[in-house]
Amino acid sequence: MHRVKLKLSYCFLFQEVSTRWTGKVPSMSRDTFAFSAASLRSFRLEREQQDWEDARRALAHRRALMRTPLSPVPRVPRQQAKTTAPQTPMPHRCRDPAVLNTFAYGEMPRVYAVLQDPSMVNALMETVQEEMTWAPEMGVWTLTSKTKQTSPLRLAAARGHTACVEELLFRGAEVDASPGGRTALHDACVGGHAACTQLLLAHGADPDRLAADGSAALHFCNSPPTFACAQLLLQVGGASVNIRSREGELTPLHVAARRGLEEHVELLLQHGADVSARNREGETPLNAACAGAERPREAGRFLRVVQMLLKAGADPRTAGRKRHTPLHNACGNCSPRIAELLLQYGAQANAPNGAGYTPMDCLVQAVEDFPDQQPEAVARILLNHGAQPASPKMLKLCSLSPLTLEVMLNCYEIIPPCDDWMDSVPPELQQEHQSLFESVRRLQSQPRSLQHVCRCALRHHVGTRCHSAITQLDIPGSVKDFLLLCSEGRLR
C-alpha cells in the first residue's frame, strides 16, 4: 500500500512540475500505473475536496462583487484625520508539494525560479496529513486529514539550508512570522543549525518570542547538537536566560538539567541562570536533574550536572508542592552517587514527602524496577546518614535484591518474621544466596548476637553523624566497616 501511495505521489508530482514548466499536461494512461481501488478512491476524494474548496472561494468572490456598495463615509477634516497603519495583505497560499519540497531540500536553482513570483517569499505553505484520531461519538479510531501550515523560511531553517535562508531574508521574508505556531528561529534551534540561527538573529529575529506551545528558542535547545545555537542566542541575540515557558513555567535551566546536558547547564550558569527558580510544580532545576537520572549509562553526566548546580548554590532540601525533594528523586532512580552527594550537601535523609514517604521508602518501592542498579548501595548510604530503616511490611518489595534485604535486616535488633515475604523470593535467588536466607529463617524473632546489638546501640547513639563519626574512631578498619553496614553475606 505504501508503494502504491508513493507511486501515486511521484505521478502527480511529475504532472504538476511538467505543467508548471512546459505549460502542457503530460498524457498519463491509467494502464501506466497499477493503481488499487483504494488509491483511486483516495485520489478522487482528495480531488473532490479541493474542487469543493475552490468552488467555495469562487462563490465568496462573486458574492463580494455583487454586494451593494455602502454609502460614502463623510470626509473628516484634515486636522482631525488620524493616521492608520496600512493593512497587511493576505499571504499567498500554496499547496503545491513540488514548491514545498523545493524549500525543504534547498535546491537553489528551483528556489530562484519559484521566487520569481514575489508573493512566494512569504507564502503560506499548507500540507495535508492524515492522522488517526479518536471519534468518541462512534467509539472508533478514524483517519482524518489535518492541515498544517508553515512558510518557506521555516522549511529552509528546519533543514539547515543556509543559502536558501539567506536568499529568502534578502528578498524580504518576515523573520518572526509564525505560521503553524513556530518561527524559523525555533525550527533552526530544534535542528541545531547554528549557521541558520546566526543568520536569523543578524536579521532581527526575536530570541524571546514564544511558540504556540509556550516555549522560547532556548527551551528548544534541549539536545547536545543544539549547544552552539544556545551560545548564539545568549551571546549574540541577548536572549533572556531565565525566560519561562507558558505552560509549565520552566526555565531553560530546568530543561537542560532534566536532560543532563552538562555544557548547556554550564553555559546557562555562566550567564546568570537562577538555580533556585521554581516551575509550576514548585521544583527547582536540581529536582529536575535528580529525576532525569534514570539510566545507569547516563549516571555520570547527571552526577556532574548535580555537582554544578550544588556548587552554584542549589539547596538540596528544597521540595516541590508535593514535598518531593531531590533526594526522593535520586533514591527513586537508585542513583547511589547522586544520593551520597546530596547528603553531603545537607539533604535530610528522613524528610517525608506529601504522601508521607521518606527517601528510604522511595528506594524500597523502586527495587523491583532497578534490581541491577545497586539499590543496596543507596540503602547503606541512607542508613549511614541516619535514615530510619524501612517498615518490615515493605521488605517483600526487596525480594528481587537479596543484598538489599541483607542491608535492611542488619538494621533491626531483632529480625522480624519473614513468612509473609520469603515466598516471594524467586527460587534461583534463594539458591544463589542460600546462606543468607538460612540465617534469616534461623534468626527470625530471635535475639541477635552481642556484637550486632552493640553495633545497633552505637549507630543509634551517633545518629546522623554515623558516616563521619565512626570513621574518626580509634578502632581497626574492619570494625569500622562492620559498623558502617557493609554487606557480609550472612546475618549475625
| pLDDT score of 3 more than 50 | no
Distance CA 236, CA 360 (A): 47
290 located within any domain: no
Distance CA 33, CA 490 (A): 75
218 located within any domain: yes
Q: Which residue has the higher pLDDT, 182 or 11?
A: 182
Stretch among 139-143, 209-213, 241-245, 473-477 having the lowest mean pLDDT: 473-477
Stretch among 143-152, 293-302, 395-404, 479-488 having the lowest mean pLDDT: 479-488
367 located within any domain: no
The b-or-e profile of 469-488 (16+ CB within 10 A means b, else e) is ebeeeeeeeeeeebbbbebe
pLDDT mean over 116-137: 84
342 located within any domain: no
Q: What phi and psi values does residue 8 have, to the nearest 5 degrees?
A: -65, -40
Is the Cα torsion angle 417, 419, 420, 423 positive or negative in sign?
Answer: positive
Average per-residue pLDDT in the chain? 82
| pLDDT score of 26 more than 50 | no
298 located within any domain: no
Q: How confident is the model at residue 71 (pLDDT cuts 50, 70, 90)?
A: low
In contact, 364 and 398? CB cutoff 8 Å: yes
Strand partners, 129: 146
What pLDDT is attached to residue 25? 40
103 located within any domain: yes
Strand pairing category for 140-150 and 124-135: antiparallel
Q: How confident is the model at residue 408 (pLDDT cuts 50, 70, 90)?
A: confident
Domain CATH for 211: 1.25.40.20
| pLDDT tens digits for range 426-458 | 888 888 888 888 888 888 887 777 767 677 666
| pLDDT tens digits for range 308-336 | 999 999 999 999 889 999 999 999 999 99
The b-or-e profile of 50-86 (16+ CB within 10 A means b, else e) is eeeeeeeeeeeeeeeeeeeeeeeeeeeeeeeeeeeee
pLDDT mean over 257-284: 96
Distance CA 478, CA 474 (A): 12
Domains identified in the chain, total number: 1
**What's the predicted TM-score (pTM) here?**
0.75
C-alpha cell of residue 229: 545555537
What pLDDT is attached to residue 124? 92
28 located within any domain: no
| pLDDT tens digits for range 81-97 | 444 445 556 678 888 88
What pLDDT is attached to residue 462? 64
Distance CA 37, CA 274 (A): 61
pLDDT mean over 292-308: 93
| pLDDT score of 44 more than 50 | yes
Stretch among 33-37, 236-240, 447-451 having the lowest mean pLDDT: 33-37
Distances (CA, A) of 184 to 116, 313, 339, 422: 22, 36, 41, 61
What pLDDT is attached to residue 434? 86
147 located within any domain: no
Distance CA 91, CA 267 (A): 39
For 106, the domain range is 95-132+152-240
